[in-house]
């Protein structure tokens, strides 16, 4: 089991750099801190479902094709590498259960629009990237597209324990590091300011 950076640094911070704090302070907080770690680890352990709980494999491929255009792969990983599809499947059987009908209907409409634009295809996943963009551009004002966009962004950047943002690829792409402690200077301008002061 790999702990994520936040948990690891929390532990490191506790053991390494809190020597100035009273043991009473630590004793008071240990149970809470351990509980938080356990919670995160449990969530992490269940972070990659072996099978989809809401989507059929065919549906998952279509949604995955959409997500991979919303946040494409390139020099850096995209929705595909982040496992966004697993995130979306998970939220649709947990806290966003009420969005299930939106996906069921949206997938039907997507198939319809795909066929309308490309009579020889009935699945967006079979199209070339340029064709996929054409279909998505045609539906980008719909509630369904908004919903998939929202879930794709969430799945790319949420805590990995929700099933997406695998290996923190979303966070790494944007330059976000989840830590319990950071040390100043944090950015270019405060670093430069500090140097000029000296």
Partner 1 sequence: MVRYEDKTLVDFVVIGGGGAGAVVAKELSGHGFQVVILEQGPYLHEGDFEHDELKFKNIYVSPAIGHEVLTNDHALQPNTFRKTESEKASLLPYIEYGRCIGGGTVHFTANYWRFHEIDFHERSTRGEVPGTGLDDWPISYAELEPYYTKAEWELGISGLAGSNPFDPPRSKPYPLPPMPMKSSGVLLEQGARKLGWHPYPAPLAILTQPYKGRAACANCGFCEYFGCEWGAKSSTLATVIPMAEKTGRCEIRANSYVRKISTDLRGRVDGVIYFDAKKHEHFQRAKAVVVCCNGTETPRLLLMSKSNLFPQGLANSSGLVGKYFMIDLGSLCQGTFEQPLNEYKGVRVTRVVQDFYDSDPKRGFFGGGGIDTRFDFYPISFALNGLPPDAPRWGAGFKNTLIENFNRTMTVFSHTTCLPLESNSISLDPEVKDAWGLPAMRITYKSHPDDFSTLKFFSERSLELLDAAGAIRKWAVPIEDATSAGHLMGTCRMGNDPKNSVVDKYHRAQDVPNLFLVDGSSFVTSGRNQPTCTIQALAYRAADHITRMAKTGSIL
Answer for which of 46, 48, 56, 76 binds partner 1 (CB under 8 A) is: 76
Is residue 112 at the binding interface for partner 1, with CB under 8 A as the rule? no
Q: How far apart are the first and last CA of the chain?
A: 45
Q: CB under 8 A: which stretch of 52-60, 108-116, 120-128, 173-181 binds partner 1?
A: 173-181
Binding to partner 1 by CB under 8 A, coded x per residue (else -) over 54-73, reads ---------------xxxx-
* 176 contacts partner 1 (rule: CB under 8 A): yes
Least CB distance from residue 99 to partner 1, whole Å? 12
Instruction: Tell me the Cα Rg of the chain.
Output: 22
Contact 32, 114 (CB under 8 A): no
Residue 15 or 21: which CB sits closer to partner 1?
21
Residue with tokens 């923190």: 168
Cβ-proximal residues to 10 (8 Å cutoff; 6+ apart), any chain: 33, 37, 180
C-alpha separations of 164 from 1, 24, 168 in Å: 17, 38, 8
How many residues lie near partner 1 (CB under 8 A)?
58
Helices (H), the chain: 5-16, 23-45, 57-70, 79-82, 84-93, 100-117, 129-139, 143-157, 169-174, 188-197
Q: State the nearest-atom distance from the C-beta of 74 to partner 1, in Å.
A: 6
Q: Which parts of this chain interact with partner 1 (CB under 8 A)?
A: 6, 10, 13, 18, 20-22, 24-25, 29, 31-33, 35-36, 39-40, 69-72, 74, 76, 78, 95, 133, 136, 140, 149-150, 153-154, 156-159, 162, 170-171, 173-176, 178-190, 192-193
């Amino acid at each position: 089991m790999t702990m994520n950076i936040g948990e690891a640094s929390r532990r490191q911070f506790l053991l390494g750099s809190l020597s100035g704090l009273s043991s009473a302070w630590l004793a008071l907080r240990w149970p809470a801190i351990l509980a938080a770690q356990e919670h995160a680890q449990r969530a992490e352990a269940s972070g990659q479902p072996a099978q989809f709980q809401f989507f059929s494999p065919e549906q998952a491929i279509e949604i995955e094709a959409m997500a991979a255009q919303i946040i494409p792969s390139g020099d850096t990983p995209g929705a595909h590498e982040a496992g966004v599809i697993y995130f979306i499947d998970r939220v649709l059987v947990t806290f966003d259960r009420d969005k299930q009908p939106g996906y069921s209907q949206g997938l039907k409409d997507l198939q319809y629009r795909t066929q309308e634009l490309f009579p020889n295809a009935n699945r967006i996943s079979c199209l070339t990237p340029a064709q996929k963009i054409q279909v998505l551009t045609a539906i980008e004002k719909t509630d369904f597209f908004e919903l998939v966009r929202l879930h794709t962004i969430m799945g790319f950047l949420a805590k990995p324990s929700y099933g997406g943002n695998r290996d923190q690829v979303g966070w790494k792409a944007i330059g976000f590091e989840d830590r319990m402690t950071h040390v100043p200077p944090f950015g270019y301008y405060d670093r430069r300011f500090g140097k000029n002061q000296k």
